[in-house]
Amino acid sequence: MADTTNAIKDLGNQFYNGILIALGTTTSRYITTKMLGLKDRPIDLKAKNVGMLALDVGVGIAIKEKVQEMGVPKKIFN
């Protein structure tokens, strides 16, 4: 039973981290497209677009880490 509970907690924490990364990625994409005036292009499986998506996700991860340094909890299920 304890293994199942720990697995569910780990899954919940991974989901929480994924939400933080998604919010950081969405925020960085919004800033680059709306505030800086760059074109908002759909994501196709071309090298340039996949590279930009990887850059967006990398920025999202950096934002998540910075927000967690500022006091947002790293785990919500202990």
Q: In Å, what is the CA distance from 52 to each residue of 1, 48, 76?
A: 43, 6, 30
For the chain, how many structural domains are there in total? Answer: 1
Residue listed under structure tokens 């929480």: 16
State the sign of the Cα–Cα–Cα–Cα dihedral 42, 46, 50, 52: negative
pTM as predicted: 0.75
3-class secondary-structure state, position 36:
coil
Structural domain boundaries, residue 25: 2-69
The pLDDT value given to residue 43: 64
Whether 76 maps to a domain, the answer reads no
pLDDT (tens digit per residue) in 8-35: 999 999 999 999 999 888 888 888 777 7
Whether 74 maps to a domain, the answer reads no
pLDDT (tens digit per residue) in 40-70: 666 677 787 788 788 888 988 999 999 989 9
